[in-house]
Structure 1
């Protein structure tokens, strides 16, 4: 996001940190820990006492723990999409795409961000494989 911010001149990501609170076995806590491990994030696990001491503005129930992710933030989706769209002419080698049928070029890699319609759009393209982000 920082690279796109630099090229677009817009602030896209505001770093806020995130505190996920719940019982130690809750989906939110277990999932946050697993995600932090998988992505190499420096997340801190806070026990009930540390949570109450450091975040006294929160209601903390007996047995609650928290995962603190200092690297979390809030993305401005409208600005992010706008900044990405402004990059499209550079990405497709200055060919503006109006429909799939009009573009006849060869690329080493293509990014298709069509949401749930992506598989339908690329199924008919030879040697094209769908890679989902982790």
Structure 2
């Protein structure tokens, strides 16, 4: 009785295996090898495509940025969230770890901590809208 696949190779060298068993194991080994190559190619192709569009954003203290505006609609105040601005101008006050930044709004001086995915780099001069 064989306990591991490597034992087939030893028995094949000793020529004590039947031909139909060796043919099957050889074909399965070839299939596994081609599958591994295809998986590796697919991984490399996917990683190339992902890395083209993903960038690491880092901001320094004092940078002017735009933060995502999280608002909800409120019928009692006659406020519709989809008409509110998507981003508000803010300034980086402190860096809190890898992706978290403490921001202060330019308008109402509100301070809060935001994730890097919710921050867009401020380009241009005064009152410039973010480029999406």
What's the TM-score once normalised by structure 2's chain length? 0.17
Greater relative CO (CA pairs within 8 A, separation 6+):
1
Higher strand share goes to which structure?
2
Report which of the two structures shows the higher radius of gyration computed on alpha carbons. 2
